[in-house]
Amino acid sequence: MKKLVIDLGHGGYDPGAVGFGGTKESDVVLSIGKYLENMLKEVDLDVKFTRLSDKYVSLSDRVKIANSYKADYFLSIHINSASDKSVRGVEVWMYSDNDKKLNKFCSDLCEGICGVFKIRNRGVKCSKDFYVLKNTSMKSALLEVDFISNEFCENDLKSEDNIKAISSVIKDNILKLYDIEDDKLYKVCIGSYRDKSNAINMLNIIKSKGFDDAYIL
């Protein structure tokens, strides 16, 4: 089975960046992680999180978790911050850009997330300075969702719907990265009948309208 490690930045006594209204980076990425845990449960992929509660995990422990799990990919999730409070935008960091699939994953992730908040796409960048990117033995990326130092961003991050939408963009791109088909089927129901003959009558009506694949459950 293919494996993924999702690293939720900060936690415990390390809140990461904190917005003007007190929103903590560590809490926001934890909420995203919890949605992702749920969304990826049914998927044919082994996923390990470096944390799923508000606890401190050192950078070297995060790397140890990923390396001993022998994941194919490592995705670290963070929220950005800047002294210029007007700055917003999404960016994704990689250690190197020599993997075509990872490059595509990162650029699609940027595009998807800037679509949720209608923010600037700051793009995919490379850096040798992120400890977790440098020391994990698998292909890795670090997502900076938006800037919590901006008060509009902080407000946007308070909405459960937005957190869910961001998680959903991340999930969709993970599925693409691993070539996993999202085989969720949307079924159309027309009614429930206690009497079987009524169900058969209804089925005949539907079939007479040309819906030959209709069936009784």
* Interface residue with Zn ion, options 78, 88, 122, 139 (CB under 5 A): 78
202-211 contacts: CB < 8 A, separation 24 or more?
none
CB atoms within 10 A of CB 39: 18
Tell me how far apart the alpha carbons of residues 23 and 7 are, in angstroms, rounded to a whole number.
Answer: 19
11 is a site residue for Zn ion (CB under 5 A): no
Stretch that binds Zn ion, among 74-82, 135-143, 176-184, 191-199 (CB under 5 A): 74-82
89 is a site residue for Zn ion (CB under 5 A): no
Closest approach, Cβ 16 to Zn ion, in A, equals 4
Of 31, 32, 29, 33, nearest to 14 by C-alpha is 29
Closest approach, Cβ 80 to Zn ion, in A, equals 8
CA atoms within 13 A on the CB side of 107: 6
Beta strands in the chain (DSSP E): 3-8, 46-49, 73-80, 90-94, 121-126, 139-147
Stretch that binds Zn ion, among 64-72, 77-85, 106-114, 186-194 (CB under 5 A): 77-85
The residue at minimum Cβ distance from Zn ion is: 78
Closer residue to Zn ion in complex, CB, 18/45: 18
Closest approach, Cβ 79 to Zn ion, in A, equals 6
* Interface residue with Zn ion, options 6, 8, 16, 47 (CB under 5 A): 16
CA separation, residue 126 to residues 38, 103, 186, 187, 194 (Å): 30, 10, 40, 43, 62
Beta bridge partners of 126: 94
- Per-residue binding string, Zn ion, 121-160, x by CB under 5 A, is ----------------------------------------
Closer residue to Zn ion in complex, CB, 17/40: 17
9 is a site residue for Zn ion (CB under 5 A): yes
Angle 100-117/160-177 helices, nearest 10 degrees? Answer: 160
Q: Are strands 139-147 and 90-94 parallel, antiparallel or unpaired?
A: antiparallel
CB atoms within 10 A of CB 155: 13
Stretch that binds Zn ion, among 30-38, 59-67, 73-81, 189-197 (CB under 5 A): 73-81
Number of residues that bind Zn ion (CB under 5 A): 3
Stretch that binds Zn ion, among 61-69, 71-79, 124-132, 159-167 (CB under 5 A): 71-79
The H or E element containing residue 178 is: none
Question: Which spans of this chain sit near Zn ion (rule: CB under 5 A)?
Answer: 9, 16, 78
